Structure 1
């Protein structure tokens, strides 16, 4: 009797175990897989901002940044203000500020971005962006040369504030009869400065034509974009994060100073000609060139320390600087030699010989056959005494 009871108990336990396994199988079969959960979440994200933000965070956690950006944007389109800010910051990281600003201004169905700091960083200036008064600076000795600073982003504005302060406290630069107009802000999407590291910065300078036409400055100082600084046609172009040494170097180009490092072949071919002279450079060192240099710049020949530089190497010509020590035209942070300070002051004593930016804008107007604009800009250049502009207007009258 006891044996039969034991058999029944064992049989009962086996059946219950099988039933338990069967029930567990049914339960597992009813649970959604990870793939199914993902599909459901993506389906919900079409209309639900919370679901879209969840997907964005998941993609961000797995370092799928383009996918995370897409879902942040989707959540923003569904009205999530915080998602829009996340999308903007991630896009800046992936594509840069300019591309992000262009994208934002081309999205009519996004919620209004009520974050002045982000708008300023993108260079989208509006009434909601706090105005920072970066005043003009007038030299006590007058303005032989006046520059108009221009920025397109908050970073450029911060940099310019620091540079203007540093300029005023630099013992050499502060002596120059140079003035700066109040800072001009231009939307980044309009100025459209390039952001390619290792390449010269280019901008849509035409957007500055109305300001140039006012004719109350000779040079533009544009602090925007990322890349290599330059000076051409009355425009000092600096990256939005520039040092005082870089500003000083490019400013000296206005006065005719040339680089003392090897120029690119295409530039060397234009600038390097036998007998060519600049305040800081002689192409060749024969006695006639040296004598002409000394006479033009008022320097005693006996004080010259002609030192070979690499400026014209690309065209097989040897150039020389008039001094032995390393200068700011070779290394940005090198001290300014007294001779270079003297030569800089000498150039600024005849500012009418320095090409004003209005002359370049007259050239652009001529390229477009906009003759009324050409005349207006050329008259502006002539008003500064620039000889080529005066001659151009005289020829027009003569014709």
Structure 2
């Protein structure tokens, strides 16, 4: 009956002469205000050029969770409809009616609705459905395509991850283009700009074999460069290298040591023309650790773990209880910059830290480092530090001062050239290792 009445009114206006549409628009708006289903009246008003019709139409569509008209008003440029989809993307609580509307619009190919459904299913721990909608959105939304690429990389689908990056590049993502440019053969790796040796006394080269690990490395680099605690340390981090032609052979129980490790000789060719002193290998699974000049992190390790391990490069020792085997090699010397070790019952000295500005021994406290050894270790603070727990942000000023000083003393550091040389020696290939032995000598002799 409503459609018949509307058609009749249109015919009447046709014969009455519609040059003056003011009365017709007034009629349409009046009908929209009193009808239970105002969509068609508002749509006609929109067609006839009423600037207020589209906002009204989108508002009614939102109130009724009407997927068809939500889709239409969004495509027509309604800021309200666009804002509604943005709200749904961020909202954790969503009614069944709004979800139904989203489903309708998403199936029409609307990327915002697809992204909103992805967020909805993620919040509700329905990952399979979330992946379905993220994959749909990735076909037309560049940001979703990059994010979906990382999702696929985490699942171990590296080829599909690269394909998603290419799709993102195709639809205009400069981010995807930059990432794909990092994924080149070893011969095309360009050496980064060389900075002064004082500015980069320690220059880290991150190495990854998967997209997820590359992004992990970028996040760590960005956090480091804005970390006010470490701004005085002469450390630089190169952009991650994304290996394609060399698949790193890594294990969570490398050589039976129950820690993450890799065959680092596979890095020799791609790193031979790079400026670096130390390496950070971003692998899949295993316990984070530092071995000479190489840090090993797995995909779950965050920035706090990185900073803790970074201090090991400068000789800092863990302040949690070491295993008996490790304690036997650590708890008989005073080489660590953050600890003093004494025999049980012997009073520790604080001369080293007093020279760095610490007053007296009031802040000296026992550390748990040597709990599995007869000796006792002390640290120059009563607080927990980042060397005891990863998530503790506190780095005593004495630590930072001695850290910076040690980085300028090359004999106290072990660069990754040693790891590479030793890796070839262990394989019985000293000829290949000679390059890295020579590079170590050049490192020691350089200003």
Contact 1:354/1:386 (8 A) holds in 2? no
Q: Distance in 1 between matches of 2:228 and 2:431?
A: 44
Q: Distance in 1 between matches of 2:374 and 2:366?
A: 13
Q: Distance in 1 between matches of 2:193 and 2:229?
A: 16
Which one of 238, 254, 259 corresponds to residue 297 of structure 2? 238
Q: Distance in 1 between matches of 2:153 and 2:295?
A: 26
Contact 2:314/2:406 (8 A) holds in 1? yes
Corresponding residue for residue 55 of structure 1: none
SS at 1:277 equivalent: coil
Is structure 2 residue 173 aligned with structure 1 residue 116?
no
The offset of 1:207, in angstroms, is 0.5
- Segments of structure 1 that go 5 or more residues without pairing to the other structure are 1-90, 105-112, 121-128, 388-399
Which one of 264, 279, 282 corresponds to residue 340 of structure 2? 282
Corresponding residue for residue 17 of structure 2: none
Which one of 204, 212, 217 corresponds to residue 263 of structure 2? 204
SS at 1:156 equivalent: helix
Q: Distance in 2 between matches of 1:374 and 1:288?
A: 46
The offset of 1:92, in angstroms, is 9.3
Is structure 2 residue 280 aligned with structure 1 residue 221?
yes
Corresponding residue for residue 144 of structure 1: 201
Q: 1:386 to 1:188 in 2, by over 3 A?
A: same
Q: Distance in 2 between matches of 1:330 and 1:212?
A: 33
> 1:80-125 deviations in whole A, cap 9, x for unaligned?
xxxxxxxxxxx999xx73xx77xx9xxxxxxxx69613999xxxxx
Q: Distance in 2 between matches of 1:119 and 1:229?
A: 32
Q: Distance in 2 between matches of 1:252 and 1:213?
A: 25
Contact 2:277/2:417 (8 A) holds in 1? yes
> 1:31-64 deviations in whole A, cap 9, x for unaligned?
xxxxxxxxxxxxxxxxxxxxxxxxxxxxxxxxxx
Q: 1:161 to 1:374 in 2, by over 3 A?
A: closer
The offset of 1:282, in angstroms, is 1.3
Which one of 320, 333, 349 corresponds to residue 391 of structure 2? 333
Corresponding residue for residue 73 of structure 1: none
Query: How does the TM-score come out when normalised to structure 1?
Result: 0.59
Contact 1:137/1:179 (8 A) holds in 2? no
Counterparts in 2 of 1:163-178, with a 5 A limit?
Answer: 163-178=220-235
The offset of 1:210, in angstroms, is 2.0
Which one of 412, 416, 424 corresponds to residue 357 of structure 1? 416
SS at 2:305 equivalent: helix
Corresponding residue for residue 308 of structure 1: 366
The offset of 1:223, in angstroms, is 1.3
Which one of 153, 160, 170 corresponds to residue 210 of structure 2? 153
The offset of 1:218, in angstroms, is 0.8
The offset of 1:130, in angstroms, is 5.3
Corresponding residue for residue 265 of structure 1: 324
Which one of 156, 180, 188 corresponds to residue 237 of structure 2? 180
The offset of 1:362, in angstroms, is 1.9
Contact 1:212/1:357 (8 A) holds in 2? no
SS at 2:399 equivalent: helix
The offset of 1:363, in angstroms, is 2.1
Q: How many residues align?
A: 274
Q: 1:115 to 1:181 in 2, by over 3 A?
A: closer
Q: Distance in 2 between matches of 1:187 and 1:265?
A: 40
SS at 1:261 equivalent: coil
The offset of 1:374, in angstroms, is 3.5
Which one of 400, 413, 425 corresponds to residue 366 of structure 1? 425
Q: Distance in 1 between matches of 2:445 and 2:317?
A: 21
Contact 1:246/1:332 (8 A) holds in 2? yes
Corresponding residue for residue 378 of structure 2: 320
Query: How does the TM-score come out when normalised to structure 2?
Result: 0.53
Contact 1:229/1:238 (8 A) holds in 2? yes
Corresponding residue for residue 346 of structure 1: 405
Q: Distance in 1 between matches of 2:162 and 2:426?
A: 42
Contact 2:285/2:299 (8 A) holds in 1? yes
SS at 1:166 equivalent: helix
The offset of 1:266, in angstroms, is 2.1
The offset of 1:195, in angstroms, is 5.8
